Structure 1
């Protein structure tokens, strides 16, 4: 087989390498072309050198190109994969820093909440540019695989406004299933069968079977509470399991910021989180982790390049969906996974226009979703709160309507639990002004926002959050690694 895959945001070096090696684990795909594109020539050259080393070490005919000219990379591509973070870590720092001034403590801030909504405002205009290019220069009928957060908003915009065949991909379901298999004592993950459905980062294990035996709430609660590690790291998640009756796919830290109950008071936050790793609820945890990872890669790049000389190990192919989807589409080997698509009767008690995440099967006819799933009422209610925020956020991003953007932020569950309307209005003005260079759709609104900020009487505070850690130096990271 010979076709072309374009990866936008390929400067996300570690993730691009994972996607690349996964895809090359498929024997039929050795003769394909990977076209890498990114705004950073420096990052592009680093990742290209790594991928070239993999191709050379494994004596493959695979072709790898790299260019900052996105349209050139997309020319003739059958598949387009997006891993972009518009604004990089600089804008991301504002997504965490500015809401903290208004009492909003986020762990990740990339899906909803104040940070996730502004992240979407930066990404969506760029996503629509991608879609325009795909329609104009990619292979007719090209499929767009979006890995970038905010997953639901980006996918929503690409489908509704970009008019491109799009699927959103995430690994939260797989990670949650791995936890469940472990606490239930499964010898392998294949013993666990499950139906997981909802929206991205708020999907729910609504049917669990271990070797064909149905697993109920009480058994699952007991298993998690007995686990020596997860009982401490997933306290909030276990509490939601007890109250909702089903387990959430998302990590303790992620889930905490999608709900209005657990991060609303500083003295309550530490009760529900665990500081053994960022993902369990640390304030700005993913920002710290991402910063350290970038610094580590820049410093230790020669080691990463040397590691790329090792032979590919097919047994280490990851559970990221992309390679499995491409394999099913091209070879007709059926793949079952969980995908982000527009709701069209798939989940009966969520809106038809929403982007849902639910089970589907892939073969040469495409992605075929299992329809007619009904979520437990509490799960549907929680998803609905986020869907309403996502819808307003997408429409605001497309139209540049700053008033609609403020209403979207106001209706966010955690923001609404913490902040007053006056605080929300000022916070959004401050974020739009700070990130103006990445928000072209709000250019006409920025002068008025600056004027309002100059006259505002809303008080803010200098607050690092309830559980913030400093970014570790390279020396500290070296000392902590085995």
Structure 2
């Protein structure tokens, strides 16, 4: 029986989708142990009730338990699916409100940018502790992280803990593949893709059918629909030659050319402070789930495309080979990005495990964008692992959107204010 542990199971929307995919796989009927962990007792109880409801609907015959003790939950795990948001809505609100007073605009703020830096400062220590616990309690398990900022937490876990089986999994690549296939009027299984880079800043390097590039067809679609082209990712595609995986509201924050220009954000439809709206929606989903459980309504999710975490687990447990995209340590997987950073590449998942595949070197203009992104990632990781507050300032000063908007004294003052506001959520050495 495979023990699958959900860390942050109180995010019932993600847990529901992953567990639904697992429970609908008939080869795993009667073979799964689902262990749920969340520090919030109310959310943990809701997650357990949801898992039992999904099990009953699917007839999965899984063994289900809720565990408030994280170490006990991890003991003997085969897979750990994590989704955590340290500090929750209140911390994210501070990440937006304080920079807003300085004139710095954000949309999502969870990857790089000021919001991503401070989310990283809160989240990296949690994942380093989790990686160390897994190295001792379940060293053969895979840590499938669905948490942002993925490039930061992955780098930190892989460097600081000795635990190698970290694989960040994200919707962005598979969603982009489906989107591109649809734009050119193709079935997804007709199209061959190769995508690589960093989480939230990867690029579609190959977009083909029957050995022929579909990029000319995409160009024709864009030329015929001017409105379709009014998005950041389309602008990035036109300028850099390869389609980016991340949505426009994300992608706008990772470069210096959009967020500080009101006319550009209006032209390209970039919503301000979008993440706060999404967090409100997530809280609504949680309450809706509780109401659905009370009313006895069906909750099993039947998606056309599996959740990335579920797809990886199913491939390993059933032996039915599948390509998945993962965020893992760069050991020559992308030749012109630094070894040790956390890169997003295709992997083959089957009964032998999850094996990332090398993709060679990225086009020079793409790797230049990735290096700019990695400056912020590496400095945030170093701030935590080295306990050096100065690197918080350095990360912010080198962040493209922040640097394009604010002078150096304001950047430092803003960081000081955020450090004070987050208080105990940040490592002690950063607060000192």
TM-score by length of 1: 0.85
2-side partners of 1:289 and 1:145: how far apart? 23
Q: Say whether the 8 Å CA contact 2:23–2:60 is kept in structure 1.
A: no
Q: How far 1:88 moved relative to its partner? A: 0.6
Q: Which runs of 4+ in 1 moved over 6 A?
A: none
2-side partners of 1:312 and 1:112: how far apart? 32
**Pair 1:426-2:422 in alignment:** no
Structure 2: runs of 5 or more not aligned: none
SS of 1:435's equivalent? helix
1-side partners of 2:323 and 2:294: how far apart? 34
Q: Which residue number in structure 1 is paired with residue 64 of structure 2?
A: 64
Q: How far 1:228 moved relative to its partner? A: 7.9
Q: Which residue number in structure 2 is paired with residue 380 of structure 1?
A: 367
1-side partners of 2:220 and 2:149: how far apart? 33
**Pair 1:77-2:86 in alignment:** no
Q: Which residue number in structure 1 is paired with residue 334 of structure 2?
A: 347
1-side partners of 2:406 and 2:130: how far apart? 35
2-side partners of 1:225 and 1:420: how far apart? 39
Task: Give 2:279's match in structure 1, choosing from 290, 295, 314.
Answer: 290
2-side partners of 1:223 and 1:434: how far apart? 48
Q: Say whether the 8 Å CA contact 1:325–1:335 is kept in structure 2.
A: yes
Q: Say whether the 8 Å CA contact 2:181–2:188 is kept in structure 1.
A: yes
TM-score by length of 2: 0.94
Q: Which residue number in structure 2 is paired with residue 197 of structure 1?
A: 196
Q: Which residue number in structure 1 is paired with residue 47 of structure 2?
A: 47
Query: CA 1:208–1:60 in 2, change beyond 3 Å: closer, same or farther?
Result: closer
Q: Which residue number in structure 2 is paired with residue 184 of structure 1?
A: 184
**Pair 1:130-2:130 in alignment:** yes
Query: CA 1:23–1:306 in 2, change beyond 3 Å: closer, same or farther?
Result: farther
Q: Which residue number in structure 1 is paired with residue 86 of structure 2?
A: 86
Q: Which residue number in structure 1 is paired with residue 2 of structure 2?
A: 3
- Shifted more, 365-374 versus 20-29: the winner is 365-374
1-side partners of 2:304 and 2:21: how far apart? 5
1-side partners of 2:199 and 2:399: how far apart? 16
Query: CA 1:62–1:244 in 2, change beyond 3 Å: closer, same or farther?
Result: same
2-side partners of 1:155 and 1:50: how far apart? 29
Q: How far 1:76 moved relative to its partner? A: 1.3
2-side partners of 1:411 and 1:443: how far apart? 18
SS of 1:110's equivalent? coil
Query: CA 1:299–1:345 in 2, change beyond 3 Å: closer, same or farther?
Result: closer
Query: CA 1:167–1:311 in 2, change beyond 3 Å: closer, same or farther?
Result: closer
Q: How far 1:309 moved relative to its partner? A: 3.5
Residues 5-24 of structure 1: matches in 2 within 5 Å? 5-24=4-23
Q: How far 1:112 moved relative to its partner? A: 0.2
Q: Say whether the 8 Å CA contact 2:347–2:354 is kept in structure 1.
A: yes
2-side partners of 1:310 and 1:84: how far apart? 22
1-side partners of 2:124 and 2:135: how far apart? 17
1:110-159 CA distances to partner (integer Å, 9 max, x unpaired)?
00000001000000111111112212323x41211111000111111111
**Pair 1:173-2:160 in alignment:** no
Q: Which residue number in structure 2 is paired with residue 455 of structure 1?
A: none
2-side partners of 1:264 and 1:311: how far apart? 43
2-side partners of 1:245 and 1:224: how far apart? 14
Task: Give 1:330's match in structure 2, choosing from 314, 317, 326.
Answer: 317
